[in-house]
Amino acid sequence: MLYADYNGSAPLLPSVKEYLHKRIDSDLFANPNALHSLGQKLKKGMEKCRGVIADSVGAYSDQIIFTSGSSEGVSTVLHSILEYTEKKIVITSPVEHVAVVKALSWYKEKRGIQVLMVEIDEDGVVNLDDLRTLLEKNKGNIAMVTIMASQNETGVIEPFEKMAKICRENDVCFFSDTTQLIGKADFHFEKSGMDYAVCSGHKIGALSGTGFIIAKDPTLIHPLIFGSTQENGLRGGTQHYLGIETLAIALSDFKEKGHKLKDLNLARLNFEKEIKRAFPKAVVIGEKAERLPGTTLIGYPGIHGQAVQIELESNDVFVTTSAACTDNQPETSVVLKAMGVTDDIGRGVIRISLSYSHGQKDYDLCSTALKNAYNKLIKIHSY
């Protein structure tokens, strides 16, 4: 079996599984905010994890705020900015995750926020000149810029460091959704120039239901979830300390093995080249742009993505047709429409997403299964 939906949700890493087997057998379970010795021991361990995580992402410990995942992180960051400013304009891109899209839609309807879209090219890459133009034209009334670091469907990596620099030069806050970047490509928060970033545990082989915000200035975060003094009063609720521990394990694993990304990237490129050699009509979305080492979004004209998905699953290869959260919608995604992808291709895409633990052997398996699927479905389509 080959599970190839790591952009949807990564299986627990072997190092995380091993840790959890030992951890669950221990007697250390308490509220980390309690004053008794067990609580304080847990809190000390949790703070050690915060330090490990901060070191892994190029941040300081006090810049890490634990959450339930990136959806909460996105909502908290937007809440912290848009509820506490008189400025009415947000600049974003047309290829954002639904967590950003729906939050901005709410602020547009309820708070009168004006959402401006930066231009993108056919690969989904942000036009930096257009970003500069939007910032200059609306100077003094821009609340924030929120543009993702890497696209969850296509794997395209945006020029986030350049975008951050442009925002900094214009004295505008820059938030980048780094959910698909952290643990899948090199990332250093301080060097990135971002004001805010987010991470979700289940994307990197840690437990689901955990994650964190990275805030350049954590004093500017306002709680979305109210409670007591947890997370310095910035996020109420007892911390998911087991999940936090697995976050530290997963990011340490990536720090140790991240060098394997080069081999993964080469194997992906070989795979794409082989499929296009065998099927010249096949289209790799975002092919000319820099992409995540383990992500391919590919389609064949007129062949439905869900049909390909079913054929692959019959060969124990598990993929999605776009984003996992919209996998049951048999139509061209909003992201692909924004990139100018036609329905003939857009309805037929499948997303193959793997991790640094995979290599050429896994892509060879994908290649064989996808060739068989295309050969079968092309015959049916031509009949």
**Going from the N-terminus, what domains does the chain have, and what CATH number goes with each?**
2-10+259-382 (3.90.1150.10), 14-256 (3.40.640.10)
Question: What percent of the chain is modeled with pLDDT above 90?
Answer: 96
- pLDDT tens, residue by residue, 179-217: 999 999 999 999 999 999 999 999 999 999 999 999 999
The pLDDT of residue 323: 57
| pLDDT for 329 beyond 60 | no
> Cβ-count burial of 277 within 10 angstroms (0-12 exposed, 13-18 middle, 19+ buried)?
exposed
Q: Which two tokens stand for residue 295?
A: 């992500």
| pLDDT for 326 beyond 70 | no
| pLDDT for 152 beyond 70 | yes
Question: What percent of the chain is modeled with pLDDT above 70?
Answer: 97
| pLDDT for 369 beyond 70 | yes
pLDDT band (50, 70, 90) for residue 27? confident
| pLDDT for 382 beyond 80 | no
What is the pairing mode between strands 89-92 and 114-117? parallel
Residues contacting 204, CB < 8 A, separation 6+: 10, 13, 182, 183, 184, 247, 250, 251, 254
**Cα(186)–Cα(184) distance, integer angstroms:** 7
- pLDDT tens, residue by residue, 107-134: 999 999 999 999 999 999 999 999 999 9
Other CB atoms closer than 10 Å to residue 232's CB: what's the count?
12
The pLDDT of residue 135: 98
Place of tokens 């214009």: 170
Which helix (DSSP H) or strand (DSSP E) does residue 64 occupy? strand 64-67
The pLDDT of residue 331: 82
| pLDDT for 254 beyond 80 | yes
- Dihedral sign, Cα of residue 8, residue 14, residue 18, residue 21: positive
Contact by Cβ (8 Å): 258, 118: no
Q: Taking all residues of the chain, what is their mean pLDDT, rounded to a whole number? A: 96
pLDDT, mean of residues 232-254: 97
The pLDDT of residue 109: 96
**Cα(23)–Cα(209) distance, integer angstroms:** 18
pLDDT band (50, 70, 90) for residue 322? confident
Contact by Cβ (8 Å): 1, 316: yes
Cα dihedral 260→265→270→275 (10° resolution): 130
pLDDT, mean of residues 153-164: 98
Q: Which two tokens stand for residue 64?
A: 């890490």
pLDDT band (50, 70, 90) for residue 325? low
The pLDDT of residue 208: 98
Report residue 330 CA to chain centroid gap.
22
What is the pairing mode between strands 142-146 and 350-353? unpaired
The pLDDT of residue 68: 98
In order, the DSSP letters of 71-131 are HHHHHHHHHHHHTS-S--EEEE-TT--HHHHHHHHHHHHHH--EEEEPPB-TT--B-HHHH
pLDDT, mean of residues 54-78: 98
Q: Which two tokens stand for residue 123?
A: 């690969």
The pLDDT of residue 342: 95
DSSP state, 175? E
- The pTM of this model reads 0.96
Q: How many residues does the chain have?
A: 383
pLDDT, mean of residues 151-160: 98
